């Protein structure tokens, strides 16, 4: 069931970004990793590609499909995601964005199967976010300011969690906050 739900969500994202889709924006960011639990260390280096919204998405306010990658500088949890992002402009230069997608990670799942005295269990409990499922929901909110017609700088908050829907048991989740620089095509 979990895999089917995640595969369906990734499939929907893939359908919304067909092969002929135009890239509308690329982003690079630096995030403070695991800001709530502070179990994992390091900085996340992020990259995101956003595509033009396909016509079929007009019925849900024209979100842009995205692909996302997040890489930990200390070798802990790395993430990849696909989803949809809705952008609203407050002024010609200031905008806000909400995003929702499905992520896959290479981090730790749980320690409940390990013996309580096992040193691996102790190390994992002290150094890793226990995420409970390979697939997680990816939510983000960001605010951007257009520096030029094509370049914007912004701040972003992200949350990764299985929501007890994509997994059972552990769900420590990951929260990140940081800055990003965007290049917007066709501006």
Distance CA 166, CA 134 (A): 9
Q: Provide the pLDDT for residue 152.
A: 98
Q: Hey, is 93 helix, strand or coil?
A: coil
Q: Provide the pLDDT for residue 117.
A: 75
Mean predicted lDDT score pLDDT of the chain:
87
> pLDDT digits over 92-123, tens only?
999 999 999 999 999 988 877 666 777 777 67
Domain count for the chain: 1
> pLDDT digits over 133-171, tens only?
999 999 999 999 999 999 999 999 999 999 888 877 778
User: Bridge partners of 25?
Assistant: 50, 184
User: Is the pLDDT assigned to residue 14 strictly greater than 60?
Assistant: no
For 63, the token pair is 């979100």
User: Is the pLDDT assigned to residue 184 strictly greater than 70?
Assistant: yes
Q: Provide the pLDDT for residue 20.
A: 54
Q: Provide the pLDDT for residue 120.
A: 72
Pairing of strands 174-184, 151-161: antiparallel
For 89, the token pair is 């402009």
User: Bridge partners of 46?
Assistant: 29, 70
Distance CA 48, CA 13 (A): 14
> pLDDT digits over 57-100, tens only?
999 999 999 999 999 999 999 999 999 999 999 999 999 999 99
For residue 26, give every residue at least 6 positions away whose Cβ sits within 8 Å of its Cβ, in sequence order, or none: 47, 48, 49, 50, 182, 183
User: Is the pLDDT assigned to residue 7 strictly greater than 50?
Assistant: no
- Please indicate whether residue 131 or residue 126 has the higher confidence score (pLDDT): 131
Residue 150: domain span = 2-184
Q: Is pTM, for the whole model, over 0.75?
A: yes
Are 124 and 170 in contact by the 8 Å Cβ rule? The answer is no
Angle at 38 between CA 43 and CA 29, to 5 degrees: 25
> Residue 24: which CATH number?
2.40.160.20
Distance CA 24, CA 32 (A): 26
- Please indicate whether residue 125 or residue 182 has the higher confidence score (pLDDT): 182
């Amino acid at each position: 069931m979990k895999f089917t739900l995640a595969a369906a969500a990734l499939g929907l994202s893939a359908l919304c970004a067909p092969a002929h889709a135009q890239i509308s924006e690329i982003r690079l960011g630096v995030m403070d990793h695991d800001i709530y639990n502070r179990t994992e260390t390091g900085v996340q280096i992020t990259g995101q590609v956003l595509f033009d919204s396909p016509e079929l998405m007009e019925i849900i306010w024209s979100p842009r499909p995205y692909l996302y990658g997040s890489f930990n500088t200390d070798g802990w949890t790395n993430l990849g995601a696909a989803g949809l992002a809705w952008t609203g402009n407050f002024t010609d230069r200031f905008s806000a964005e909400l995003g929702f997608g499905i992520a896959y990670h290479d981090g730790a799942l749980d320690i409940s199967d390990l013996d309580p005295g096992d040193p691996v269990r102790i190390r994992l409990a002290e150094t890793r976010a226990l995420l409970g499922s390979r697939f997680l929901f990816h939510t983000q909110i960001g605010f951007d300011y257009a520096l030029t017609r094509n370049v914007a700088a912004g701040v972003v908050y992200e949350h990764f969690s299985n929501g007890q829907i994509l997994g059972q048991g552990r769900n420590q989740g990951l929260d990140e906050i940081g800055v990003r620089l965007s290049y917007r095509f066709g501006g």
